């Protein structure tokens, strides 16, 4: 069985993006609609769960309708199935997508496929591109997760390392907040770091032992906080230097641990995905490391790094091809491990 000939709608509402997409053959994007709530949460400096749920409720119908319309689908019965993120994420936010997907699947008698959000990120690089070899190492770095995973094939995952405290994206968000830069921190720090000197401020790289594949970012965040306590919140060039130094510290750790995972697994391919891979410094450094090791790198285009429905549709199509569907008792799960 394979996913060719399938036309799957993917719905994502785990955090602050209401997203829907239609993907053909687990690969070709027919539509990809994302309604971001950044403006809603920016005033609070982070995602407010109750507000996220309410905005998902407002957005879900127009977002799905647009995804179907842009894919040229008049009758949802043309779909092969409805895939939806069932976790991990904010439970109230997840429930909006799950309930809507269930209703749609029930009314149109379509298969329902509950998808793990992290598996969505893992398959994002194959959307619109050549899939990676089935055996590879995956680095997943988002606002909620930082993990290295040994992938033996679709659905066959071995945990290699994870963060002991903050996720990498969370570190970007927290550092941006303590520098008074706003939310979400990743893109703002990246912009502010442009023209900064990445060697200007000495910051720690945690867990330097070579064989160690876990991550830790809270010490780095504390080091930036201490720097600010000593010298105040910098401005102008000094602010650019601090942001560039912080970003470089994150880049160094992500690259070093990914390289070690490739080495330990004797793998020749790296999938790197999740919101933090939207960062150009991270992308460039990963690409240089893989080139030096003669390993192939699979990274999604920037708009498929952050949360979207296309990756959920693709993961759903691959599950559907294996005959794995969900019942109408599908529930949202806040904490849902991948492996």
For binding to ligand KG4 (CB under 6 A), which residues are involved? Answer: 15, 142-144, 169-170, 172-173, 184-187, 190, 274-276, 278-279, 306-307
DSSP string, 265-302: HT-SEEEEESGGGG-HHHHHHHHHHHHHHT-EEE---H
Phi/psi at 24 (5° precision): -100, 135
Residue 219 has a CB neighbour count (10 Å cut-off) of 17
Name the binder of 186 from Zn ion, ligand KG4, none, CB < 5-8 A by kind. ligand KG4
Please say which residue, 37 or 80, places its beta carbon nearer to ligand KG4: 37
Query: Starting from the edge strand earliest in sequence, which strands make up the sheet with 112-116, in order?
Result: 28-36, 17-24, 7-12, 81-87, 112-116
Nearest CB to Zn ion, comparing residues 79 and 305: 305
Cβ distance to ligand KG4 smaller for residue 46 or 76: 46
Give the shortest CB-244-to-Zn ion separation in angstroms.
Answer: 25
- CA-to-CA distance for 271 and 136, rounded, in angstroms? 7
Asked whether 197 and 239 are in contact (CB, 8 A), the reply is no
In angstroms, give the least distance from the CB of 34 to ligand KG4: 10
Q: Which is nearer to Zn ion, 15 or 269 (CB)?
A: 15
Considering the complex, what minimum distance in angstroms separates the CB of residue 141 from ligand KG4?
A: 8
In the complex, the smallest distance separating the C-beta of residue 278 from ligand KG4, rounded to whole angstroms, is: 4
How many residues touch Zn ion under the rule CB under 5 A: the total is 2
**Does residue 85 bind Zn ion (CB under 5 A)?**
no
CA distance readout (Å), 250 to 140, 176, 244, 254 = 14, 14, 10, 6
Which residue stretches of the chain are H helix?
Answer: 38-42, 49-70, 91-107, 117-123, 168-178, 185-193, 218-231, 236-265, 280-293, 302-305, 309-321
**Would you count residue 307 as binding Zn ion (CB under 5 A)?**
yes
154 makes contact, choosing from ligand KG4, Zn ion, none, with CB < 5 to 8 Å by partner type, with none
Shortest Å distance, C-beta 299 to ligand KG4: 13
Residue 32's SS3 state is strand
Q: How many Å from the N-terminal Cα to the C-terminal Cα in the chain?
A: 24
Between 241 and 321, name the residue whose CB sits nearer to ligand KG4. Answer: 241
For residue 79, how many other CB atoms are within 10 A of its CB? Answer: 22
State whether the Cα torsion 265-269-270-273 is positive or negative.
negative
CB of 185 to ligand KG4, least distance (A): 5
**CB closer to Zn ion out of 80 and 142:** 142
Q: Of 46-54, 181-189, 242-250, 305-313, which part binds Zn ion (CB under 5 A)?
A: 305-313
Decide which of ligand KG4, Zn ion, none touches 30; Cβ closer than 5 to 8 Å per partner kind.
Answer: none
142 binds Zn ion (CB under 5 A): yes
Stretch that binds Zn ion, among 139-147, 150-158, 180-188, 240-248 (CB under 5 A): 139-147
Least distance in Å: CB of 115 to ligand KG4? 13
Q: What residue ranges bind Zn ion (CB under 5 A)?
A: 142, 307
């Amino acid at each position: 069985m394979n996913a060719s000939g399938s036309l799957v709608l993917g719905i994502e509402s785990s955090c602050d993006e209401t997203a829907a997409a239609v993907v053909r053959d687990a690969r070709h994007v027919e539509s990809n609609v994302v309604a971001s709530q950044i403006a809603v949460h920016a005033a609070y400096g982070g995602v407010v769960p109750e507000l996220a749920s309410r905005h998902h409720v407002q957005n879900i119908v127009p977002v799905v309708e647009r995804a179907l319309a842009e894919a040229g689908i008049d009758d949802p019965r043309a779909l092969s199935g409805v895939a939806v993120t069932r976790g991990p994420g904010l439970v109230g936010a997840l429930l909006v997508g799950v309930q809507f997907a269930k209703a749609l699947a029930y009314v149109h008698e379509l298969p329902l496929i509950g998808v793990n959000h992290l598996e969505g990120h893992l398959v994002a690089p194959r959307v619109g591109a050549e899939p990676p070899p089935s055996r590879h190492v995956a680095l997943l770095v988002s606002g909620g997760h930082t993990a290295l995973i040994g992938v033996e094939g679709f659905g066959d995952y071995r945990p290699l390392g994870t963060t002991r405290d903050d996720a990498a994206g969370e570190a970007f968000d927290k550092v941006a907040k303590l520098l008074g830069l706003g939310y979400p921190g990743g893109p703002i720090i990246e912009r502010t770091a442009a023209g900064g000197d990445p060697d200007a401020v000495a910051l720690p790289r945690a867990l330097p032992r070579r064989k160690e594949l876990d991550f830790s970012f809270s010490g780095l965040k504390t080091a930036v906080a201490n720097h600010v306590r000593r010298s105040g919140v910098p401005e102008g060039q000094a602010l650019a230097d601090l942001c560039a130094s912080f970003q470089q510290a994150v880049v160094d750790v992500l690259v070093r641990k990914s390289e070690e995972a490739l080495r330990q697994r004797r793998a020749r391919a790296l999938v790197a995905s999740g919101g933090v891979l939207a960062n150009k410094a991270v992308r460039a450094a990963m690409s240089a490391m893989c080139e030096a090791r003669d390993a192939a790198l699979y990274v999604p285009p920037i708009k498929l790094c952050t949360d979207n429905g296309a990756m959920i549709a693709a993961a759903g199509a691959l599950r559907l091809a294996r005959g794995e569907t969900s019942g109408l008792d599908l529930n949202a799960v806040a904490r849902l491990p991948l492996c």
